[in-house]
Structure 1
Amino acid sequence: MDVSPVRVMLVDDSVVVRGLLRNIIEKHDDLDIVAAAADGQTALRDYRAHRPDIVLMDVEMPHMDGLSALREILVHDPEARVIMCSSLTQAGAETTYQALHIGAVDCLAKPSSKSIDRGLTFEQELLLKLRTLGRHGGAKRAPSSPPVSKAPPVLHQHKFGGDVVLRRMPDHLPPNFPLALAIGASTGGPKALVEFLTGVDKNMMLPIFITQHIPPGFSRFLAENIERKTGFPAHEAEEGMLVSPGHVYIAPGQKHMGVHKGIPKRIALTDGPPVNFCKPSVDVMLDSLEHAYGGHLLTVILTGMGADGHMSSRRMVVDGTHNILIAQDEETSVVWGMPGAVAKDGICHAVLPLSRIGAAVNKLVRRESIGDHHAN
């Protein structure tokens, strides 16, 4: 069956950058550049005229900057998919984080003269984001045919774009369950994290660990926004930082985050290679937390591209005694990649809309039943 190309619009005031992007994109028959603009005003006019599937937008431009253009485009079309491009600077990181909060679906760091090991080259990352986010209806598809776990008895089946088998909740949870809350997220994560944590009880005395796929420099702004919007004290994690109950720790860009074994618990940051093309990696975080907290971990996988976190989640749930896994459902995910991978593998204890995950976590912390474990 023929599939129409993803229709792309480029917005950047640099002729050199537009040329670079055009050279990458035009080599691929499944991508089609329908418009190219040098400022936000022209971008808004071209968006109305061409209705592209995906927009690749610079942050800093004359006449109308990227943030202003993004707001105007979203007023015109609330379903517009815009990827913001910025330099790897603190100013660029702050502005791009604002764009993600406004409604950009993702961000992309422009290549620089410095060699940065980000797992994927700029070209690979660009093509992956355009194809995944630009496809109509394709952004929420999980990876095809993930392995089926040999799970203990299941609760029931429910369909989320395919049959999803949920694991049975443990009959008895230990008095000290859970000892920590772990969260993995990628595309769409910054907004989802705020909504989720807003619904979590602020008196919950658990440390909260977050790995969000985000370029270097962004994690500080994510921590500040989470603290401002949710009331949880939030930190960009640092090596050796003391882990305190009720605090949020966010993996910094280009560092894997875990926890050192022993008492008291302290943050462990490592500079190892990317895992699943990701650095920081959810898999690395979960492996470390599972060892540090001995099978008493509550994990939530939110919206995101790819399948990072899948293999560690599988090991924790299949081999662990009391680990509980919740995934965001397809309907409320920007991209049903990461949550779809764990959901379709039959290793989730619940698959829920974003708006219901906070309440489910509160009940599990109180060791209460969360009732219906699937989305309605």
Structure 2
Amino acid sequence: MLLGVPKEIKTNENRVGLTPTSVREVVEHGHQVIVETQAGANIDFYDDDYRTAGAEIVDDAATVFARADMIVKVKEPQPSETRQLRPDQVLFTFLHLAPDPEQTTGLQESGCTAIAYETVTSDRGGLPLLAPMSEVAGRMAVQAGARCLEKIMGGRGLLLGGVPGVGPAKVTVLGGGVAGNNATRMATGMGADVTVLDKSLPRLAQLDDQYMGRIRTLYSTVESVEQCVLEADLVIGTVLLPGAAAPKLVKREMIKHMKPGAVIVDVSVDQGGCCETTKATTHSDPTYIVDDVVHYCVANMPGAVARTSTIALNNATLPFVVKLANKGVWPALGEDRHLANGLNVCRGQVTYEAAARDLGREYTDPQRFINNGKGPDAEAA
């Protein structure tokens, strides 16, 4: 199989789909890789590194899209990229379709087979390709929130951990999953006063045991969310429903009654955000203010630490990339139900139920295309 790695073009996105180490692994399995020139240069993965690993360097993204059997990216394809996708092509990347009807339409019109990192599952019930970026985003959320609490950023003028004689900032973490736990870890380590809300009692018990009384855990209800949001200096939203739009836990009315200069960091922004006032921002213009509350809603937070994020992501995605290349897309999806859960769009149809529901699109069972690993054309052939 010929794999293609274009340079990411989303604003301030410096991650890259495959590292030179990953390219070498793919090549060792007998496949070819083409990489757009300078695709990884901003994080010190240079063209010569890719050549040494066995890749061919090409001059532009158009060549990558025109030649490759499978495109391996990081972020969702931008409109100029979506228009270059082909019906016989596989796209393997983050998609986050539920809040993005324009991208969904573009992928449907392209006819490509689009497999989303964020809905691939595991035997343990997790999301193994989303997890490393959730770890990064959760930890970054606290860094960003601490910075936004500074007066110069519009915040309350608080030091997250306080100092002797001055109490720490109150941090509310909505969601106790991977991102929420990592945010809790960072905020606790910096000395903040942390409360975590979740609807899973077993998860709350795990967090309670893990932090041994250093945090508060609360069952998430409308009332408990409202109370904690209004008391908080920093709210970190990490709520996730796989492949679906994030529930709007923080209502517009709550924002009006938050402390002036309080901060919201919405890690859930890729799935539309868990706050009614959330709108996606970029690293070059990361914040805005609503009712004196600072909002940090960068849609590709891990892109700011792109080298760390790229290596962490590749550690998780590489086995699946190799499997798709070695076996072919349909046999690979047919034998691996967890990878099959990543199939979001195929031949113009939305094949992930939660995304189809939130988008108001018709849902098509992915097994119609997987066909026990034989592919949609097996009978016709």
Query: TM-score, normalised to structure 1's length?
Result: 0.33
Structure of higher CA gyration radius = 2
Of Structure 1 and Structure 2, the greater strand share is in 1
Of Structure 1 and Structure 2, the greater helix share is in 2
